[in-house]
């Protein structure tokens, strides 16, 4: 992994947040639910880019449209594409940017990001708003873990052997940032979904 603390200054965070607000107006936050059990996530989600990650009773998947509006996801902002080009060390474009919104009590259990075809691309994470405690383990669920804080403006790349490592968010520290209007946190993760140069089409 690679952690870039405070990579975005306050001005850049505000500009990006404005773009995310516009995206969420077009593609409203929805509450995903666990496959099979239908148990709702505490995190609300939306996406931008050609594909978006969704979860419901039938399973996890990437799809080209919003599950409630059935409209295509809004485009990935140029600002995010540029950060990917500068930092991801990967030749092709990201195809999905998952927008996670955490309220003060929300968390995310340990999981692997495993619905992509190409694990040579990193998971590119950018945090906005309140501090969060991120937990990173290994390839197996019961491998030892370590934890560290993710703060507003931080970028985290999960690459190499950490690309398939278990990770999650233990908790949010409400009121630690003044960026958002209300306590909470937004995390953006850009992902390459299909193998390079295939543009999402299967042959």
Site residues for Fe ion per CB under 5 A: 113
Instruction: Return the number of the residue (88 or 199) whose C-beta is nearest ligand SIN.
Output: 88
Token duo for residue 96 = 């999905």
Contact (CB, 8 A) for 120 and 90: yes
134 binds ligand SIN (CB under 6 A): yes
Contact (CB, 8 A) for 161 and 119: no
> Using alpha carbons only, how large is the chain's radius of gyration in Å?
16
With CB under 5 to 8 Å by kind, the binding choice for 163 among ligand SIN, Fe ion, none is none
In degrees and rounded to multiples of 5, residue 89 shows phi and psi of 55, 50
The candidate with the shortest Cα–Cα distance to 125, out of 151, 102, 147, is 151
Task: Please select the residue that binds ligand SIN; options are 187, 190, 192, 194, rule is CB under 6 A.
Answer: 187
Contact (CB, 8 A) for 190 and 121: no
Exposed / middle / buried, residue 199 (Cβ in 10 Å: 0-12, 13-18, 19+): exposed
| Terminal CA-CA length for the chain | 33
169 binds ligand SIN (CB under 6 A): yes
Of 72-131, binders to ligand SIN (CB under 6 A) are 100, 108, 125
With CB under 5 to 8 Å by kind, the binding choice for 100 among ligand SIN, Fe ion, none is ligand SIN
Q: Give least dist CB 120 to ligand SIN, A.
A: 19
Instruction: Return the number of the residue (90 or 134) whose C-beta is nearest Fe ion.
Output: 134
157 binds ligand SIN (CB under 6 A): no
With CB under 5 to 8 Å by kind, the binding choice for 179 among Fe ion, ligand SIN, none is none
Instruction: Return the number of the residue (40 or 199) whose C-beta is nearest ligand SIN.
Output: 40
Q: Give least dist CB 150 to ligand SIN, A.
A: 6
Contact (CB, 8 A) for 100 and 187: yes
Separation CA 198–CA 26 (nearest Å): 27
27 binds ligand SIN (CB under 6 A): no
Q: Give least dist CB 111 to Fe ion, A.
A: 6
**Dihedral in degrees, nearest 10, Cα atoms 23, 28, 29, 34:** -120
Instruction: Return the number of the residue (13 or 189) whose C-beta is nearest Fe ion.
Output: 189
User: Interface residues with ligand SIN (CB under 6 A)?
Assistant: 100, 108, 125, 134, 150, 167, 169, 187, 189
């Amino acid at each position: 992994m690679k952690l870039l603390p405070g990579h975005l200054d306050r001005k850049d965070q505000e500009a990006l947040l404005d773009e995310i607000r516009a995206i969420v107006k077009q593609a409203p936050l929805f509450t995903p639910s666990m496959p099979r059990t239908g148990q709702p996530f505490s995190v609300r989600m939306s996406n931008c880019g050609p594909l978006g990650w969704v979860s419901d009773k039938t399973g996890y998947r990437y799809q080209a449209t919003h599950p409630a509006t059935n409209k295509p996801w809004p485009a990935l902002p140029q600002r995010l594409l540029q950060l990917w080009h500068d930092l991801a060390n990967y030749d092709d474009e990201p195809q999905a940017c998952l927008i996670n919104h955490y309220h003060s009590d929300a968390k995310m259990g340990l999981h692997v990001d495993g619905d992509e075809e190409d694990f040579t691309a990193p998971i590119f994470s950018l945090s906005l708003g309140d501090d969060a405690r991120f937990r990173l383990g290994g390839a197996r669920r019961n491998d030892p873990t370590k934890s560290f804080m993710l703060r507003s403006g931080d970028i985290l790349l999960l690459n190499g052997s950490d690309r398939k490592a278990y990770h999650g968010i233990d908790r949010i520290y409400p009121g630690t940032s003044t960026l958002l209007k209300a306590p909470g946190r937004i995390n953006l993760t850009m992902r390459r979904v299909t193998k390079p140069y295939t543009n999402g089409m299967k042959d």
